[in-house]
Amino acid sequence: MRKKPVSKVEIRSFNKPVNLFFNVLIAVFALSCVLPFLFVVAISLSNETALAAHGYSFWPKELSIFGYTYLFDQMQDKIFQALFVTVLVTLVGTLINSTATSLYAYVISRSNFPFRRFFTVFCLITMLFSPGMVANYLVMTNLLQLKDTIWALILPMAVSPFNIIVMRTFFKRSVSESIIESARIDGASEMRIFIQIVLPLAVPGIATISLFAALGYWNDWFNALLYIQKDSLVPLQYLLMKIQNNIQYLTQNAGASSQLSGGMAAIPGESARMAIVVISTLPIAISYPFFQKYFVKGLTIGGVKE
Amino acid sequence: MKTWKKVVGLSTAVVLLGALTACGGGSKEKTDGSSKKADENTLLMYQIGDKPDNYDALMEVANKRIEEKTGAKLNIQYIGWGDYKKKMSVIVSSGENYDIAFADSYVPNAQKGAFADLTELAPKFAKDAYDQLDEAYIKGNLVDGKLYAFPVNGNVYSQQVLTFNKQYLDKYNLSIDDIKTYKDAESVLKTFHEKEPNIAAFAIGQGFKAQGDFDFPIGNDYPFAVDLNGDTKKIINQYENKDFMDVLKTMHKWYQAGYIPSDAATSNTEFPLEGNTWFIRQETQGPYDYGDTILSNAAGQELVSKAFTTPLKSSDQARMANFVVSNTSKNKEKAVEVLGQINSDPELLNGLVWGIEGEAWEKIPNKDGKIKLLDGYKPNTHLPAWNTGNNKILYTQDTITDEMIKERDESIAKAETSPILGFNFVTSNVKTEMSNIANVMSQYLDGLNTGTVDPEETVPKLKEALDNAGYDKVLTEMQKQYDEFLKK
C-alpha B72, offset from chain centre: 28
Interface touch B207/A256, C-beta < 8 Å: no
Radius of gyration of chain B (CA): 25
Higher pLDDT, A251 or A138: A138
Q: Region B239-244: what's the mean pLDDT? A: 93
Which H or E run includes A96? helix A76-109
Q: Given this model, what pLDDT does residue A261 score?
A: 56
pLDDT of A185 reads: 92
Residue B34 confidence (pLDDT) above 50: no
pLDDT score of B16 more than 70: no
Superfamily per CATH, domain A65-252+265-302: MetI-like (1.10.3720.10)
Q: pLDDT, tens digit, for every residue of A41-72?
A: 888 888 877 776 677 778 877 788 888 888 78
> Which band of pLDDT confidence, cut at 50, 70 and 90, is reported for residue B22?
very low
Residue B114 CA, chain-centre distance (Å), reads 21
Q: How confident is the prediction for chain B on average, in pLDDT?
A: 87
CB–CB contact A264 B23 (8 Å):
no
Whether A251 contacts chain B with CB within 8 A: yes
B38: pLDDT strictly greater than 50: no
Q: Please give the share of chain B, as a percent, with pLDDT higher than 90.
A: 56
Check A149 against B24: CB less than 8 A apart.
yes
Q: Which domain holds residue B138?
A: 42-153+318-401
Q: What share of chain A is helix, strand, coil (3-state, %, to 5)?
A: 75, 0, 25
Distance in Å, alpha carbon of A176 to nearest chain B alpha carbon:
22
- Integer Cα distance of B127 and B339 in angstroms: 11
The pLDDT score that the predictor gives to residue B1 is: 46
Cα of B353 vs its chain's centroid, Å = 17
% of residues, chain A, pLDDT over 90 = 28
The predicted model gives B162-178 an average pLDDT of 91
Domain annotation covers residue B358: yes
Give the model's pLDDT for residue A299: 62
B24 in any annotated domain:
no
Q: Which residues pair with B305 in a beta bridge?
A: B163
- pLDDT computed for residue A223 by the predictor: 92
Q: Is the pLDDT of residue B49 over 60?
A: yes
| pLDDT of A104 above 50 | yes
* CB distance B137 to B318 below 8 Å: yes
- Residue A33: C-alpha distances to residues A30, A38, B98, B329 (Å): 5, 9, 45, 50
- Across the range A194-206, mean pLDDT stands at 89
Interface residue A95 vs chain B (CB under 8 A): yes
Whether residue B218 is contained in a domain is answered as: no
**pLDDT at residue number B56:** 92
Neighboring chain A residues of B78 at a CB cutoff of 8 Å: 229
pLDDT digits (tens, 9 = 90+) for B76-129: 999 988 889 989 999 998 888 899 999 988 999 999 899 999 999 999 999 999
Query: With bands split at pLDDT 50, 70 and 90, how would you rate the model's confidence at A164?
Result: very high
- Tell me what pLDDT residue B323 has: 95
The per-residue pLDDT for B25 is 42
Q: Do B270 and A247 touch (CB under 8 A)?
A: yes
Domain with CATH 1.10.3720.10 in chain A: 65-252+265-302
Partner residue facing A245 (CB), from B20, B23, B83: B83
Residues of B in contact with A257 (CB under 8 A): 273, 283, 298
CB-based contact A242 B17, cutoff 8 Å: no
CB A102 within 8 A of CB A302: no
Q: Is residue B195 part of a domain?
A: no
Domain total for chain B?
1
Burial of B419 (0-12, 13-18, 19+ CB in 10 A): middle
**Chain mean position to CA A257:** 36
Q: How sure is the predictor about B138, in pLDDT bands with cuts at 50, 70 and 90? A: very high
Cβ-defined contacts of B408-411 (< 8 Å, 24+):
B408/B287, B408/B288, B408/B290, B409/B287, B411/B157, B411/B287, B411/B311
Strands B142-143 and B322-325: unpaired
pTM over 0.95: no
**Mean pLDDT of all residues in A9-19:** 77
Task: List C-alpha distances in Å: A222 to A225, A241, B239.
Answer: 5, 9, 38
Asked if the Cβ–Cβ distance from B298 to A137 is below 8 Å, we say: no
Interval A232-260 mean pLDDT: 76
pLDDT beyond 60 at B36: no
Interchain contact, B289 vs A258, CB within 8 Å:
yes
Q: Could you say which residues from 160 to 189 on chain A have a Cβ atom under 8 Å away from some Cβ of chain B? A: none
Q: Is the pLDDT of residue B427 over 80?
A: yes
Distances (CA, A) of A68 to A47, A268, B7, B208: 11, 11, 39, 32
Q: Which residues of B touch A142 (CB under 8 A)?
A: 94, 96
- Residue B484 within a domain: no
Domain with residue B50: its CATH number is 3.40.190.10
CA distance A194 to A172: 13
Per-residue pLDDT reduced to its tens digit, B251-270: 999 999 999 998 888 887 77
Strand B214-215, strand B322-325: pairing: unpaired
Q: Which residues of B touch A253 (CB under 8 A)?
A: 207
At residue B162, the 3 state secondary structure works out as: strand
pLDDT band at B216 (very low <50, low <70, confident <90, very high): very high
- B20, B87, B385: residue with CB nearest A262: B385
